[in-house]
């Protein structure tokens, strides 16, 4: 699919420093540095200043994310800084961004997706094993209801417990204690940290569908800041944009979030976008899973008009075909509608109630 990218120097920013907001964690800084490096390649004359801050999700480390009930755990403080003009753009893991952004904000760029699959990191004593080879009652650490629900069903002999903290903290808990036989993490984060060698098992979509937006980085900007929006738009990866629009539309129509197990898998091949989506009960015993496809093979049109800045589930991507984006969004909505017609609302309502009660 053709992408139209503005030439460097046409952004109108001038010589002022571009302030980039990020979380303080090592992974967040690595991800932000990678985005800034990409921007520097397009705009070598611009100066970038990184502004790091802590978020609510970084501070609350003794409670499962699914129980806190805050939709913007890792984004609120960054968005506050964006609103106050203290930063010009913010780099997020896309999976941390709610499907409905606060008024006045938009996702101005989604970078090419890293591997979206989940990975198993084993305790050193279990090196060389897979989940199916672990002894009965082995304890697996994960902070995700989605992962736990799917894996409980597939590996009923294993036990799953919550584990919080950044990647460094979780790996330390795994390695230095005997509490966990293995932990489940996003493969993308491990790769970005340079810890691919710790991946003992990649979980295929047949084993574990991944989170909406997992593996993709998003750049959030003020929706009316046209100069910054134009500047960051060069980072859009067309395939990733369409996959993530479909996933986010699916999640939004289901009214899902981190307090319920919702999972996806997307693939773009020969102009066809394939979306698999699923919902699960907390123990994985009840589930619905379906796959749908839609054509997104539409040409990009260079037309200025009133719909220039139309958003699709919070994403503004003028350099990706508007018709293709609309088709991707409709695909997500239609798949969610199919699952809802088969009883997804009941599964998610019970999951949410049980999670709140635990």
pLDDT digits (tens, 9 = 90+) for 72-130: 556 788 898 999 999 999 999 999 899 999 999 999 999 999 999 999 999 999 999 99
Domain boundary among 202, 237, 270: 202
Domain span at 74: 18-115+212-357
The pLDDT value given to residue 2: 39
Strands of the sheet with 272-280, listed across from one edge: 262-269, 272-280, 287-295
The pLDDT value given to residue 53: 87
Q: Which two tokens stand for residue 230?
A: 């134009």
- The answer on 198 and 130 residing in a single domain is yes
Q: Is residue 234 part of a domain?
A: yes
- The answer on 284 and 310 residing in a single domain is yes
The pLDDT value given to residue 12: 54
Q: Are 288 and 278 in contact (CB under 8 A)?
A: yes
- The answer on 332 and 251 residing in a single domain is yes
Q: Is residue 10 part of a domain?
A: no
Q: Give φ, ψ of 320 to 5 degrees.
A: -125, 140
The conformation of residue 206, written as its DSSP 8-state character, comes to T
Q: Is residue 8 part of a domain?
A: no
Residue listed under structure tokens 């054509």? 295
The pLDDT value given to residue 165: 83
- The answer on 337 and 220 residing in a single domain is yes
The CATH code of the domain that includes 138 is: 3.40.190.10
Enumerate residue ranges in the chain where pLDDT < 70. 1-15, 55-74, 257-258, 302-308, 358
- The answer on 341 and 217 residing in a single domain is yes
Domain boundary among 169, 184, 202: 202
Other CB atoms within a 10 A radius of the CB of residue 273 amount to 24
- The answer on 168 and 304 residing in a single domain is no
pLDDT in tens, 309-350: 789 999 999 999 999 999 999 999 999 999 999 999 999 999
The conformation of residue 242, written as its DSSP 8-state character, comes to H
Q: Is 115 exposed, middle or buried, given 0-12, 13-18 or 19+ CB atoms closer than 10 A?
A: middle
- The answer on 75 and 123 residing in a single domain is no
Domain boundary among 202, 237, 262: 202
The pLDDT value given to residue 355: 80
Q: Is residue 331 part of a domain?
A: yes
Question: What are the helix (H) ranges across 136-198?
Answer: 145-154, 167-176, 187-192
Beta bridge mates, 145: none
Q: Which of 88, 96, 118, 225 is catalytic?
A: 96
Instruction: Tell me the C-alpha to C-alpha distance, in Å, between residue 285 and each of 4, 26, 151, 297, 347.
Output: 46, 37, 11, 38, 10
96 in catalytic set: yes
Q: Which two tokens stand for residue 236?
A: 């859009």
The model carries a pTM of 0.90
Cα–Cα dist 337/344, whole Å: 9
User: What's the total number of domains in the chain?
Assistant: 2
The CATH code of the domain that includes 223 is: 3.30.160.40
Q: Are 213 and 244 in contact (CB under 8 A)?
A: yes
- The answer on 245 and 155 residing in a single domain is no
Q: Give φ, ψ of 47 to 5 degrees.
A: -105, 135
């Amino acid at each position: 699919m053709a992408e139209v990218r503005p030439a460097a120097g046409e952004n109108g920013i001038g010589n002022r420093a571009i302030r980039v907001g990020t979380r303080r964690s090592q992974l967040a800084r690595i991800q932000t540095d990678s985005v800034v490096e990409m921007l520097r390649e397009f705009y070598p004359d611009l100066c970038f200043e990184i502004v790091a801050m802590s978020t609510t999700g970084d501070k609350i480390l003794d409670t499962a994310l699914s129980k806190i009930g805050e939709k913007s755990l890792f984004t609120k403080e960054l968005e506050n800084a964006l609103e106050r003009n203290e930063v010009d753009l913010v780099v997020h893991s896309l999976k941390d961004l709610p499907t409905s952004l606060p008024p006045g904000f938009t996702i101005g760029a989604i970078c090419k997706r890293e591997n979206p699959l989940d990975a198993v990191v084993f305790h050193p004593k279990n090196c060389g094993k897979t989940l199916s080879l672990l002894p009965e009652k082995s304890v697996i650490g994960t902070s995700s209801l989605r992962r736990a629900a799917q894996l409980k069903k597939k590996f009923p002999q294993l036990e799953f417990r919550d584990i919080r903290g950044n990647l460094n903290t979780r790996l330390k808990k795994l390695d230095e204690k005997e509490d966990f036989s293995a932990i489940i993490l996003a493969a993308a984060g491990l790769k970005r940290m340079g810890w691919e060698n710790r991946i003992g098992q990649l979980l295929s979509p047949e084993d574990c569908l991944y989170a909406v937006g997992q593996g993709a980085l998003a750049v959030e900007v003020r929706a009316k800041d046209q100069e910054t929006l134009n500047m960051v738009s060069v980072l859009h990866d067309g395939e990733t944009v369409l996959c993530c629009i479909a996933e986010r539309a699916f999640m939004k129509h289901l009214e899902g979030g981190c307090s319920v197990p919702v999972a996806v898998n997307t693939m773009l091949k020969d102009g066809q976008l394939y979306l698999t989506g699923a919902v699960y009960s907390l123990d994985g015993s009840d589930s619905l899973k379906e796959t749908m496809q839609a054509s997104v093979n539409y040409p990009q049109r260079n037309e200025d008009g009133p719909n220039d800045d139309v958003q699709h589930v919070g994403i503004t991507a003028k350099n990706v075909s508007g018709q293709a984006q609309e088709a991707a969004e409709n695909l997500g909505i239609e798949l969610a509608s199919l699952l809802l017609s088969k009883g997804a609302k009941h599964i998610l309502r019970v999951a949410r109630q049980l999670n709140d009660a635990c």
